[in-house]
Amino acid sequence: MTRSLRVSILFLICGFIFTSDASPIRKGEWSGSGGDGYAFVFTNLGYRLHRELLMEPYKPHQRQVRDDMSLAHFLGAVDNTKVIVTSEDIADKHGHEQTAIYYSPDELRALYKKKGKSRSEIETIIKDFPGGLIVVQGERFQNELRENMAAAFATVFHEYRRVLGLEEDNYRSSASRYDLEFFEDLQHKFSSVTQEVVRQARQEDQIAVSKMEKIDREKQRIEKELKEDYAELAQVRKSRRPFVDAARKSYSKLMNAYADVLDTMGIVAMPFPSAYSDTVSALGEAGSAGMDMEQKLSELEVINLQSQFLEGNIRRNMDFYEKIDLLRQKLFLDSLK
């Protein structure tokens, strides 16, 4: 994990802790911190959605989200896009009211230029969110959280897809595939940690706790996520072992075949029987299996993606945990002064 990403994550939680009581940011204040608690909720749902889609069990003959889009790019969109909450109504270019709307960096430059900002002022404003800006209508998003969590996840998913340039207005490009039913079905498969994040998101406007309690609650969540990560990493590594063993056997068989070919040419004597025809047959079967479904990720590719994510997430969360623990200590010491 890069230093800039760690800093941005820490800034996010600090903004949530210290400014969750702030009033919604209005259109004239879109360069603000975005510290409203629901901005944190929106981003956090993005992280959990990425995890659920990446860790979804492999299905051999069914296309999954990770086959249609790079989930690493999706995670990057969550990392690099600022989210703010407004009390104003927001609408797309057709005048249809929306829960959220995305502004690309170029759209933001044009917007601020109309407001009379200089080029240097504009670049200063948007330098910390290279992915652009998602503006969330607070009341509509709160209603989604309370009444239909699947709708809230659909909003989060589609807005981050917009960041990646994968969406058109009104979600035409993916509405048939990633509709409300898709997210309702996904909810039934959520891990226990994601379910807890969902419960907390629904209660955000009902919770009035101190800064210290918010930090403690976040520490507890991270502890549970670390436990989840370690357990899933152990399972992923266990499932990868048969592939490693099979690859080792195939490699040994292939080398034996090459050696046997050399033997028939009189270059070197080998004491084992020919495996050339078997190797060619095995390679043919592997090629056939690989073409079973166009662009469908192989199970081993998915396992490797999951393993890389879990290892990186463990490092990120341990680093994050240490930072917010230091923040808690600082608050405690400040209270003694």
pLDDT tens profile 285-321: 554 444 444 568 898 899 999 999 999 999 988 988 8
CATH number assigned to the domain with residue range 210-337, chosen from the 4 options 1.10.8, 2.60.40, 1.25.40, 1.10.287: 1.10.287
pLDDT tier at 333 (50, 70, 90 boundaries)? Answer: confident
Residue 97 β-bridge partners: 91
pLDDT above 90 (res 80): yes
More confident position, 5 or 205: 205
Neighbour tally for 180: CB within 10 Å: 13
pLDDT in tens, 21-53: 333 334 444 433 344 678 889 999 999 999 999
Of the candidate ranges 89-103, 154-168, 211-225, the one whose mean pLDDT is the lowest: 211-225
The amino acid at 221: R
In terms of pTM, does the model score above 0.85? no
If we measure between CA atoms, which residue out of 99, 103, 104, 77 comes closest to residue 88?
Answer: 99
Q: Which are the contacts of 335, defined by CB distance < 8 A and separation ≥ 6?
A: none
Of 66-80, 186-200, 206-220, which gets the smallest average pLDDT? 206-220
Nearest to 60 by CA among 285, 237, 300: 300
Identify the CA nearest to 201 among candidates 262, 146, 242.
Answer: 146
The pLDDT assigned to 281 comes to 53
pLDDT of residue 33: 35
Residue extents of the structural domains in the chain: 3-209, 210-337
- 124-148 exposure pattern, b = at least 16 Cβ within 10 A, e = fewer: ebbeebebbbbbbbbebbbebbeee
What local confidence, expressed as pLDDT, does residue 261 receive?
63
